[in-house]
Homo-oligomer: A and B are copies of this chain.
Amino acid sequence: MTSAEHSPLTRKLAAFVALTEAELAVLERLHQRRRSFVAGHDMVHQGQSAQAAYILSAGWVSSYKLQADGTRQIVDFQIPGDFLGLRSVLLRTSDHSFEPIVDIEAAEVLTSDLLAAFAQTPRLATAILWAVSRDEAMVVEHLVGVGRRDALARMAHFLLELGSRLALVGMGSKHGFDCPLTQYHLADTLGLSAVHVNRVLRQLREKGLVTFRDGHVTVHDYEGLAELAEFDPAYLDQTGPLLK
Contacts and interface: CB of A to CB of B under 8 A. Distances in A.
A144 B90 contact: no
A92 B243 CA distance: 11
B237 A133 contact: no
B239 A86 contact: no
Given A95-B234, A119-B122, A144-B65, A136 B134 contact: no
Most-contacted residue by chain B among A90, A92, A135 (CB, 10 A):
A90
Interface string A120-141: 0011011011101111110111
A9 B134 CA distance: 22
Interface stretch (A67-75, A159-167, A211-219): A67-75
A141 B146 CA distance: 14
A176 to B, nearest CB: 26
A29 interface: no
Interface in A148-163: 148
A114 interface: yes
Given A118-B126, A126-B114, A136 B92 contact: no
Contacts of A174: none
A38 interface: no
Contact of A143 (B75, B111, B235): B75
B142 A143 contact: yes
A43 B139 CA distance: 23
B235 A90 contact: no
Contacts of A132: 129, 132-133, 136
Interface in A228-243: 230, 234-235, 237, 239, 242-243
A91 B129 CA distance: 10
Contacts of A235: 91, 93, 95
30 contacts: A65-B144, A73-B148, A75-B140, A86-B133, A87-B133, A87-B136, A90-B129, A90-B130, A90-B133, A91-B235, A92-B242, A95-B137, A95-B140, A96-B140, A114-B126, A115-B122, A115-B123, A115-B243, A118-B122, A118-B125, A118-B126, A122-B122, A125-B125, A128-B129, A132-B132, A135-B136, A136-B136, A139-B139, A139-B143, A143-B143
